[in-house]
Amino acid sequence: MAEPLVEPHVLEYPGGYTRSVGPVIGRFLTGLRDGRIEAVRLADGRVLVPPTEYDPSTSAPVDADGPQWIDVGPRGTVQTFTWVATPRPGKHPLTKPFAFALIRPDGADTALLHVVDCGGPDAIRIGSRVAPRWRAERTGHMTDIEAWVPLGDGEEPEPAALHVPAEDEQPVTGITSTTRLEYNLTAGAATARYLEGLGEGKIIGARAPSSSDVYAASRGTDPITGEATSIEVEVKASGVITTYCVVNIPGLSELAPEIPYVSAQILLDGANNTFFGLIRGLDVDDVHMGMRVKAKWADELKPDHTSILWWEPTGEPDEAYDRYKDYL
């Protein structure tokens, strides 16, 4: 058995995920850009903030226009909160300790979730009066309010700096959501052994316990019975092309060769499943089903997929269709 293999993995959408916000949320975010908090009066008279495209009780549609839109706040009252002693850089809006709170703006019947910059956990309680600290440069995003801050008796909220619209400025129609999650993925026992094998110039598969089928690379189970595969088998680094495609799209990955090139499914000698590989060493027009190929190993072997550079013809006669017809 191989050593446990745990590798870092980052889930991130480069540049962020572009979300359309629709006319109702768009109007609220446009209001934030202008330095105002807009809310909607629902059919039952309740004032909803932040507004949604639907009445949360009845699911009746909420119009983006009309007299039911009113300004609320800027003063608000803390409904509940918790203290964040260790902010997360790049995620939380503030870099110093702060409170997350549900804040009900004056004139509204619901609360919005935001951050309160109040210095310490003893400076906030349920019922605390707060007001927004607006950013000078606002883009139509929840963080246009940098934070809410405590408001003393009789104290006036700091007004938002005037937003000077660009000549061609439009209402807010979208936001960019940045998401980055970090993982330490466990390859699993079977995959770890397979990858270790690549570093030794071998293709390690596994035999299903209740049949003679061999899977390379095994994910740890026989996908037909669901049984764990524990019997290790080395399969040959040669086989037959079952099916393939000619790729004419450039830049699909950093490892992809110049176009056109061929991606193929290869039935390895001694295995009962197909294996993905690139085919090189001949004109793409000469690649065909039934062709015998062998692995071209890298000079420097590593326990990952870079150890097999590509697959190339062996020069042997083609395999008969019967050899691979069950693997198409």
Partner 1 sequence: MRDVAVISFVQSAVARDAVHNEVEMLVPTLHAAMAESGIPKNEIGFVCSGSLDYLQGGPFAFVSGLDAVGAWPPMRESHVEMDAAWALYEAWVAIQTGEVDSALVYGFGKSSTGDLHEIMTLQYDPYYVAPLWPSMVDVSAMQARAYLDASGRHEDELAEVAARAQRNGRSNPYAVRAGDVNANDVLAQPVTHDPLRDADIAPITDGTAAVVLAAGELARSRCERPAWIRGLDHRIEAHSLGVRDLTTSESTRAAAAAAGVAAGEIDIAELHAQFSHEELMLAEAIGLTANTVINPSGGPLASNPVMSAGLIRIGEVARRIWSGEAGRGVAHATSGPCLQQNLVCVLESDH
* Chain residues in the site for partner 1 (CB under 8 A): 4, 6, 9-11, 19, 21, 25, 29, 48-50, 52, 56-57, 79-85, 88, 91-93, 100-102, 104, 110-115, 121, 126, 141-143, 175, 177, 179, 181-191, 219-228
> Integer distance in angstroms from the first to the last C-alpha of the chain?
32
In the complex, least distance from residue 326 CB atom to partner 1, rounded to whole angstroms: 13
188, HSE (Cβ side, Cα atoms, 13 Å): 11
Q: Which CB, 48 or 131, lies closer to partner 1?
A: 48
In the complex, least distance from residue 319 CB atom to partner 1, rounded to whole angstroms: 25
Region of 200 on the Ramachandran plot (φ > 0 left; ψ -120 to 50 alpha; else beta): alpha
In the complex, least distance from residue 297 CB atom to partner 1, rounded to whole angstroms: 26
Q: Which CB, 113 or 161, lies closer to partner 1?
A: 113
Q: Which CB, 16 or 201, lies closer to partner 1?
A: 16
Q: Which CB, 10 or 166, lies closer to partner 1?
A: 10
Q: Which CB, 88 or 325, lies closer to partner 1?
A: 88
Q: Which CB, 84 or 233, lies closer to partner 1?
A: 84
Q: Which CB, 49 or 204, lies closer to partner 1?
A: 49
How far is residue 130's CA from residue 120's CA, in Å, rounded to a whole number? Answer: 14
Q: In angstroms, what is the C-alpha Rg of the chain? A: 31
In the complex, least distance from residue 275 CB atom to partner 1, rounded to whole angstroms: 17
How far is residue 324's CA from residue 311's CA, in Å, rounded to a whole number? Answer: 18
In the complex, least distance from residue 296 CB atom to partner 1, rounded to whole angstroms: 29
Q: Which CB, 183 or 276, lies closer to partner 1?
A: 183
In the complex, least distance from residue 234 CB atom to partner 1, rounded to whole angstroms: 21
In the complex, least distance from residue 290 CB atom to partner 1, rounded to whole angstroms: 26
Q: Which CB, 70 or 309, lies closer to partner 1?
A: 70
In the complex, least distance from residue 164 CB atom to partner 1, rounded to whole angstroms: 24
In the complex, least distance from residue 147 CB atom to partner 1, rounded to whole angstroms: 10
Which 3-state string (H, E, C) describes the chain? Answer: CCCCCEEEEEEECCCCEEEECHHHHHHHHHHHHHCCEEEEECCCCCEECCCCCECCCCCCECCCCCCCEEEECCCEEEEEEEEECCCCCCCCCCCCCEEEEEEEECCCCCCEEEEECCCCHHHCCCCCEEEEEECCCCCCCHHHEEEEEECCCCCCCCCCCCCCCCCCCCCCCEEEECCEEEEEEECCHHHHHHHHHHHCCCEEEEECCCCCCEECCCCCECCCCCCECCEEEEECCEEEEEEEEEECCCCCCCCCCCCCEEEEEEEECCCCCEEEEEECCCCHHHCCCCCEEEEEECCCCCCCHHHEEEEEECCCCCCCHHHHHHHC
